[in-house]
Amino acid sequence: MNKGNVFISGASKGIGMAIAYFFERNNYTVVGTSRNKFEFDKKSEKLIPMKLDVTCRDSIKSCFDELKSKDLLPEILVNNAGITSDQLFLKMKNEDWDNVIDTNLNGVFNLSKIFIKNMIKNKHGRIINISSISGLMGNPGQVNYSSSKAALNGFTKSLAKEVGKRKITVNCVAPGFIESDMTSYLNEQGKNELIDRIPLGRFGTSDDVAKLVLFLASPEASYITGQTISIDGGLLMY
Catalytic residues, by residue number, are 145
Residue 28 CA to residue 49 CA, distance in Å, equals 14
CB atoms within 10 A of CB 55: 17
State residue 14 phi and psi, 5-degree precision. Answer: 55, -135
Q: Which residues pair with 81 in a beta bridge?
A: none
- If DSSP states are collapsed to H, E and C, what string results for the chain? CCCCEEEECCCCCHHHHHHHHHHHHCCCEEEEEECCCCCCCCCCCCEEEEECCCCCHHHHHHHHHHHHHCCCCCCEEEECCCCCCCCCHHHCCHHHHHHHHHHHHHHHHHHHHHHHHHHHHHCCEEEEEECCCHHHHCCCCCHHHHHHHHHHHHHHHHHHHHHHHHCEEEEEEEECCECCCCCCCCCHHHHHHHHHCCCCCCCECHHHHHHHHHHHCCHHHCCCCCCEEEECCCCCCC
